[in-house]
Amino acid sequence: MPHESPQTTHYSIVDIDGNAVSVTYTLNGSYGSGVTASGTGVLLNNEMDDFSAKPGAPNGGQMSYQGDANAIRPHKTPLSSMSPTIVLRDGRLFAVLGSPGGPTIINTVLEVLVDLVDFKMNVADAVAWPRFHHQWLPDRLQVERGFSPDTVEQLKLLGHQVEVTAQQGEVAAIVINDGWLEGAADPRTEGEAKGY
Ligand code: DON
């Protein structure tokens, strides 16, 4: 069997008519709740972990601290960071992207968008570029390898507790450039950009 990541998955699709799909789907933790619905092969998630079981305490997998607004209550949906994204420019499709990564997803997607829109990178560079994450609590700045040691030193001098992380997210992105579809899978993992 090919490698199967235990992570949330994102895929981006654009068809020949310019229809776009951006999908992030998750069991939350690896194998979710560990329970398969009888006779279906469908694994059930453990999304209850995205509620705040105890305000002020971090949740299981993702060290995300939340308050009473995300408490477990009837008819409530738990918090989600998943950000499947479709961007239009002047009413026309510009980009389709998203990522796994729990609480890092929101800024992973934003960082790639800033690289595309403000720094005018091509899609492969924008997806490959080193990323960073700070979620207030825990009070630490995580940076991927690739930031200059000078920058890291300056951040430490400003009082940040900087940690180098192996990998942040797994972006799958498509950009429409002059009528061309340009796709990029994340070089951090084993995804692929495919045209049919
Ligand atoms: O909805 C959420 O934000 C989380 N359940 C996503 C979990 C996730 O991305 C874990 N894998 N990387």
The pLDDT of residue 61 is: 64
Ligand 1 center to 150 CA (angstroms): 32
| Cβ atoms < 10 Å from Cβ of 190 | 11
Residue partners of 192: CB distance under 8 A and separation at least 6: 185
> What is the average pLDDT across 83-96?
97
Mean pLDDT over the full length of the chain: 93
From atom 12 of ligand 1, which residue's Cα is the shortest distance away?
101
The pLDDT of residue 132 is: 97
Place of tokens 């709740």: 33
**Residue to probe by mutation, ligand 1, list 27, 46, 82, 107, most atoms within 8 Å of CB:** 82
The pLDDT of residue 157 is: 98
Catalytic annotation present for 8: yes
Q: Is 9 in the pocket of ligand 1 (CB under 6 A)?
A: no
* Global pTM value: 0.94
From atom 1 of ligand 1, which residue's Cα is the shortest distance away?
80
